[in-house]
Structure 1
Amino acid sequence: MPTPSLPHKPITVSIVSHGQLSLIQPLLGQLDRWCTDSIEKVVLTINIPETDLLGGMRWSFPVERIENPAPKGFGANHNAAFTRCATPWFLVLNPDIRLDGDVLAPLILQAGADSGLLTPRILEPGKSAPEAHRALITPVEILTRNRPGYAAPSVPSWIPGLFMLFRSATYAQIHGFDERFFMYGEDFDICARTQLAGWKLEVAEKLLARHEAQRASHASRRHLYWHVTSLLKVWTSRAFWRYVLQHGGR
């Protein structure tokens, strides 16, 4: 039986810089080294003014820039990038993700017809094993997830917005991210709405990406405020309660 092949360059990548071009530079190099056959283009959004560390650099894929006159939220930036996507897959990627090999082609090749959102396992700094799968986000789950004896689910209810490979048809159907979330909470919300629309969230257990974590909410009162208010928006949203009813609180 012949080995399945990808359609020609099936992915548009969306990366947003919040003064993070120093992080994005090595990421683009890794994408160029490992994943060039999968990437049609990268849409790079400059959300706040910063020194151009990428000037004069070239990769095997085009890097199309969006320069915002005023900062936008996480979801709004990626929604704007999606309007420039003409490929069957759309990858939302954090600036601090790191790759040690090609994860994009294997992700797409294992996708089922009803797979709407794909991701590899994520390895955090200083850890020897990938992050545990995420349970339904509730106050109790947040307070207990890092305690001894916490039992992570075998199948995640949602995935963090670090590495989200969407089928473009799925992203269009659910109208992308809910822009009411400025930062935080939008990842659970879009995972819930993806599954409520009948699409599967699929984690490739044997594929790995690394996260050079930038834990802003732990150090900034402003980020902490966004985090808390976003959680309140999640717990009062229609998508959250529809998901709870449909999945029995999983």
Structure 2
Amino acid sequence: MANNKDVEIVIRDNKASIFLRELSATSSMHYLAASSPMGFGANNNAVFEYCRSKLGMQSGDYFCLHNPDLIIAPDVLLEAVNTAEQHAARLVTINLFQDSDLTRPDFNIKRFPSLLDFARGFLLGSNPAAYDKTTIDEPTQVDWASGAFLLFKAELYQQLHGFDERFFMYLEDVDICRRARDQLGEPVLYLPHLKAVHLCRQANKRLFSRHFYWFMVSMLKYFLRSGSRTVN
């Protein structure tokens, strides 16, 4: 896909890997290394600014971010852009699975969370805020979608001033989707027919790990700003 004249691929390297630098140089991709480790939101904001200032990204273009553990076919990404245009959607996600056979759904679309949802998730291993994706077969508006894959109209990302960098990791995707809806009236459009694989690890569930600490800090920041889930 790096050879598609309408697509620019930017790799953001949080650890300054020689391998990624060389891979980018031989694959027509742009390589950006962080001077020091940064959070998820800060890294994506840096990529957005690079696309805007160095690659000539315009307000009508699309800015797609996805995790390095996401496996997606080029035609799926391009169809997501085309479908977004057809629906005049400025924030889009697709249908993620946790295995290559597409049998284990990734709960990448959810309702805005409550404290009780998080408690149930940690104690019972359930996903009470998750949508039942088996019941959705048409493009549908949802509350928020995982940052593993989000497709923004560049003008929307700019209007939101990107991710809130006070979230080092976790819930920055919930926060930006909520701000998009509450401040600009832009919901997330979920496209169930477009599928990709997300090899997620859910490191935040390991008690007393760094990821668990980052998750708890982000959860406090989110609820101090947004409160509990709003009933639509």
Give the TM-score band, short-chain normalised: 0.7 to 0.9
CA distance in 1, matches of 2:203, 2:21: 24
Identical positions, percent: 29
Q: 2:216 aligns with which of 228, 238, 243?
A: 228
Q: CA deviation at 1:211?
A: 0.6
TM-score by length of 2: 0.78
Counterpart amino acid of 2:144? Answer: W
Does residue 94 of the first structure (1) align with residue 96 of the second (2)? no
Tell me the matched-pair count. 209
Does residue 152 of the first structure (1) align with residue 149 of the second (2)? no
Q: 1:79 aligns with which of 14, 26, 45?
A: 45
Does residue 135 of the first structure (1) align with residue 111 of the second (2)? yes
Q: CA deviation at 1:58?
A: 2.6
Aligned to 2:54: none
Secondary structure class of the residue paired with 1:110: helix
Q: CA deviation at 1:216?
A: 2.6
Counterpart amino acid of 1:128? Answer: T
Q: CA deviation at 1:120?
A: 0.9
Change (3 A) 1:176 1:99: same
Question: CA RMSD for the aligned pairs?
Answer: 2.7
Counterpart amino acid of 2:97? Answer: L
Secondary structure class of the residue paired with 1:115: coil
Please tell me whether the aligned partners of residues 125 and 213 of structure 1 are also in contact (alpha carbons under 8 angstroms).
no
Q: CA deviation at 1:106?
A: 1.3
TM-score by length of 1: 0.73
Please tell me whether the aligned partners of residues 123 and 129 of structure 1 are also in contact (alpha carbons under 8 angstroms).
yes
Q: Which has the higher contact order (CA 8 A, sep 6+)?
A: 2
Change (3 A) 1:66 1:144: same
Aligned to 1:117: 91
Larger proportion of helix: 2
Aligned to 2:149: 163
CA distance in 2, matches of 1:157, 1:123: 19
Please tell me whether the aligned partners of residues 75 and 181 of structure 1 are also in contact (alpha carbons under 8 angstroms).
yes
Please tell me whether the aligned partners of residues 96 and 214 of structure 1 are also in contact (alpha carbons under 8 angstroms).
no
Q: CA deviation at 1:135?
A: 1.7
